[in-house]
Structure 1
């Protein structure tokens, strides 16, 4: 098949992903740097700055932690991937696009009044990141020769992705309904572990014959 003929080195792929994530995390701080300059020009003190820009500081911290969490999950997912095909590469390009875009709704969250579209842009970006991650796991399940990771472990990760997508969707609806404080609904993501375990057990019951099937090595 064509996607198995066109392969890419995993070392360069991982280095590229790391660079993109590092740039995205750095971009998160730029609005705050501009705010510091504006505060200095306006003669604001440190306490006044922290109080006036509390929203920016919180949005920076939230998105920084989320991107770091996404990167750690990506690192675990591709730690034992031995080959990168063109479809898998494009799935990761889509994943990186969501990571690079996140600083934009983050700046909106920190500097603008909350409205439904802002919520959709911010939490929708998180959902898009999780969907692309899930898509890559499904691809690896269908092409076990590309990784040393067992199908059961990949399936467990996919269950976690599905749980995160569902909880993020619920958080989006709550945030739209509750306004500014609605972003606290993202705390629902702490339930990802229990929900993913439940989904994993259900998946195992539905397809028990595939649960512990070892990957084929090409």
Structure 2
């Protein structure tokens, strides 16, 4: 590897972990604390107000679970990496740009859950992240000098299939946005199911 093209792996991992941590924490800010008028008793009014927050709570929980799956995938991918070069780091940074947008796109779905444009923005955000992780894996397959050991063709296919789980869920959400927009967010709960099914088929 040419002088000056290698980047310290621990610095990239620290930056990535920090961005994930901040993005996951910011999700809760989309849930506004309800305000109870002074003349009313919180014991009477607050339960109903809290129940009314369920769309925001659901959007926060779904986005957190999706970010968790992305972070676990990133951890698995970087476990294969021995060293980093600048093109791969740049690709990772572009992926992180998608991560920092998740609190915004998630807030759109929590506030305007039945609006198709909100559903499509969130879907595009998550699909882009999944495809970018697939691009990272493809780059590593083509540059085995960055790895502890070369990725086998079977392992590459597994990785590509896993990278398509969030785009597949996003596509399903977009399709559901026409007949049943209120149900579209639930499609992202299928991501762990897709991942488990792919891992099961690959291990057979």
Which band: TM-score by shorter chain? 0.7 to 0.9
Q: How many residues align?
A: 196
8 Å contact kept, 1:137–1:158:
yes
The whole-number CA distance in structure 2 between the counterparts of 1:41 and 1:26 is: 29
What secondary structure does 2:180 align onto?
helix
- 1:186 pairs, out of 181, 185, 188, with 188
8 Å contact kept, 1:59–1:110:
yes
In structure 2, relative to structure 1, the CA distance for the partners of 1:14 and 1:112 (3 Å cut) is: same
The whole-number CA distance in structure 2 between the counterparts of 1:186 and 1:162 is: 12
The whole-number CA distance in structure 2 between the counterparts of 1:56 and 1:176 is: 21
8 Å contact kept, 1:162–1:196:
no
The whole-number CA distance in structure 1 between the counterparts of 2:176 and 2:23 is: 27
Question: Residue in 2 aligned with 1:212?
Answer: none
Question: Residue in 2 aligned with 1:175?
Answer: 177
- Richer in helix (by share): 1
The whole-number CA distance in structure 2 between the counterparts of 1:5 and 1:197 is: 41
The whole-number CA distance in structure 1 between the counterparts of 2:164 and 2:66 is: 17
Q: Given the two structures, how large is their TM-score scaled by the length of structure 1?
A: 0.79
In structure 2, relative to structure 1, the CA distance for the partners of 1:150 and 1:40 (3 Å cut) is: farther
8 Å contact kept, 1:168–1:186:
yes
* Within-5 A mapping of 1:1-218: 6-32=5-31, 35-36=32-33, 38-40=34-36, 45-152=45-152, 153-189=155-191, 190-194=193-197
Instruction: Please report how far the alpha carbon of residue 172 of structure 1 lies from its aligned counterpart in structure 2 after TM superposition.
Output: 2.1
More moved, 111-120 vs 186-195: 186-195
Instruction: Please report how far the alpha carbon of residue 69 of structure 1 lies from its aligned counterpart in structure 2 after TM superposition.
Output: 1.3
The whole-number CA distance in structure 1 between the counterparts of 2:15 and 2:150 is: 25
The whole-number CA distance in structure 1 between the counterparts of 2:37 and 2:25 is: 24
- Structure 1 alignment gaps of length 5 or more: 202-218
The whole-number CA distance in structure 1 between the counterparts of 2:95 and 2:104 is: 16
8 Å contact kept, 1:167–1:188:
yes
Instruction: Please report how far the alpha carbon of residue 157 of structure 1 lies from its aligned counterpart in structure 2 after TM superposition.
Output: 1.2
The whole-number CA distance in structure 2 between the counterparts of 1:163 and 1:112 is: 25
Q: Given the two structures, how large is their TM-score scaled by the length of structure 2?
A: 0.84
Instruction: Please report how far the alpha carbon of residue 73 of structure 1 lies from its aligned counterpart in structure 2 after TM superposition.
Output: 0.9
The whole-number CA distance in structure 1 between the counterparts of 2:165 and 2:61 is: 23
Instruction: Please report how far the alpha carbon of residue 180 of structure 1 lies from its aligned counterpart in structure 2 after TM superposition.
Output: 1.2
Question: Residue in 2 aligned with 1:215?
Answer: none
- Structure 2 alignment gaps of length 5 or more: none
More moved, 135-144 vs 173-182: 173-182
- 1:128-180 CA-to-partner distances (Å, cap 9, x unmatched) read 11011000000000001101244123432122213442343233222343211
Question: Residue in 2 aligned with 1:210?
Answer: none
CA RMSD of aligned residues (A): 2.5
